[in-house]
């Protein structure tokens, strides 16, 4: 049984962690900690948790977290996790840390200070932290003490764009990410902009043009472009090393820029991303054939100059070929659902760890359009954190996360 601590237990993400961990057969909640709710019962903070046997909420103490936990989830504002992780790991180096905040996502402490406005409290730990997107970096996560749980927007954007970017199918300077999120993404602390009368029947952009998730998205897209990834078990997807993949040395540090515009919509939870990119001409891969292989290392994909086959066109990939690329890329991923005949919608993933994806080509403009939907509190936060915990401890990855979405 994995002993689990949750720091920030009174926030929306912390509460979602507790809700999901109650149903996890291999986890035992031993510590619930919060600065603002110490001394309260969990049910006082979250009425949906009435009737469950849970530890009382305590203050945040590194020594008790190190002593009583095998893994600590930290759902706290920027700057908190780095210092707390350092204290916990100093007291007991074998504890695993899953940070649901931003402290370990950016690999450059200088970039962290630029975007978050505070110096990094543990720059010596940044290098050993893995980026916690299991669909792309599973083996790397498995070996880590510290996992940086991705942001909700980056999770949706990266899962949407990974197959295209890693295969060099889109112009890396043409990427536009338009995202809509429910109000819970802003957290539980009240503020006028998130007050019901101001959110209801209102939709607005925010964080433009320097939302803090922008450098995180660019950092990981750059990594995908440099390494190349394929379906899990093929060309290194899920390993974090991309062994055998057609990495592209022509991608430099300035080779990827994204225009990222988030919007607040009047619903409690959910994210819908629509990502756009210009298709490269010529497209490097245009078709799928059963059993086919080529020198690029991408099984099943046929280069543009190959002999014609039913799935190819003279101008680039057909829409069904791109959908097939996504289906192959995520073929073994339990929580990514690639849609053919429909488009993602937030209600279809509500309360679940699923991310739904669909891809379309606008032939008239030469753009590819990718849609992704997820629950910002589950796959965008708490569910993905538990998925990372399962990877860290060698558990079945879907343990505690198999509940279907809530509908309607």
Any idea which residues carry the catalytic annotation? 152
Q: Which two tokens stand for residue 6?
A: 């949750």
List average pLDDT for each run of 10 residues in the chain, which is 408 residues long.
98 97 99 96 96 98 99 96 98 98 97 94 97 98 98 99 96 97 89 87 94 97 85 42 37 73 97 97 48 33 34 61 96 98 98 98 95 99 99 98 96
The pLDDT of residue 121 is 94
The pLDDT of residue 200 is 92
| pTM given for the model | 0.88
With both helix axes pointing from N to C terminus, report the angle between 214-227 and 152-166 in degrees, rounded to the nearest 10. Answer: 30
The pLDDT of residue 253 is 45
CA distance 131 to 151: 10
The pLDDT of residue 194 is 85
**Which residue segments constitute the domains of the chain, with CATH numbers given?**
2-128 (3.40.50.720), 153-376 (3.30.360.10)
The pLDDT of residue 227 is 87
Strand partners, 371: 274, 358
């Amino acid at each position: 049984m994995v002993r689990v601590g949750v720091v920030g237990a009174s926030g929306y993400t912390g509460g979602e962690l507790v809700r999901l961990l109650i149903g996890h057969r291999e986890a035992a909640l031993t510590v619930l900690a919060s600065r603002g709710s110490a001394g309260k019962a969990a049910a006082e903070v979250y009425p949906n948790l009435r009737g469950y046997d849970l530890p009382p909420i305590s203050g945040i103490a590194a020594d008790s977290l190190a002593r009583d936990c095998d893994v600590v989830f930290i759902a706290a504002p920027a700057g908190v996790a780095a210092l707390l992780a350092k204290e916990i790991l100093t007291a007991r180096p074998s504890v695993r840390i899953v940070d649901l905040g931003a402290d370990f996502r950016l690999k450059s402490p200088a970039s962290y200070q630029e975007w978050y406005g505070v110096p990094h409290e543990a720059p010596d730990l940044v290098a050993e932290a893995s980026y916690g997107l299991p669909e792309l970096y599973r083996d790397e996560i498995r070996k880590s003490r510290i996992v940086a749980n991705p942001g909700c927007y980056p999770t949706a954007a990266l899962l949407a764009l990974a197959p295209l970017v890693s295969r060099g199918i889109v112009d890396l300077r043409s990427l536009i990410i338009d995202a809509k999120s429910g109000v819970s993404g802003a957290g539980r602390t009240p503020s006028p902009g998130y007050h019901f009368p101001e959110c209801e029947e209102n939709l607005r952009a925010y964080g433009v043009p320097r939302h803090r998730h922008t450098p995180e998205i660019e950092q990981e897209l750059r990594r995908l472009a440099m390494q190349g990834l394929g379906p899990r078990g093929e060309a290194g997807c899920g390993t974090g090393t991309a062994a055998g993949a057609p990495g592209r040395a022509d991608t430099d540090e300035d080779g990827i820029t994204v225009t990222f515009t988030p919007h607040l919509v009047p619903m409690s939870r959910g994210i819908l991303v629509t990502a756009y990119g210009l298709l490269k001409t010529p497209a490097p891969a245009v078709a799928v054939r059963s059993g086919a292989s080529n020198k690029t290392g991408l099984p099943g994909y046929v280069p543009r100059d190959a002999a014609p086959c039913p799935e190819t066109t003279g101008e680039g990939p057909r829409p069904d070929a791109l959908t097939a690329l996504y289906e192959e890329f995520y073929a073994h991923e339990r929580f990514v659902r690639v849609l053919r005949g429909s488009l993602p919608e937030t209600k279809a993933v509500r309360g679940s760890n699923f991310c739904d994806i669909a891809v379309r080509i606008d032939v008239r403009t030469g753009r590819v359009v990718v849609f992704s939907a997820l629950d910002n509190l589950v796959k965008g936060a708490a569910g993905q954190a538990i998925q990372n915990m399962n990877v860290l401890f060698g558990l079945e990855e879907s343990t505690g996360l198999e509940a279907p979405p809530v509908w309607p």
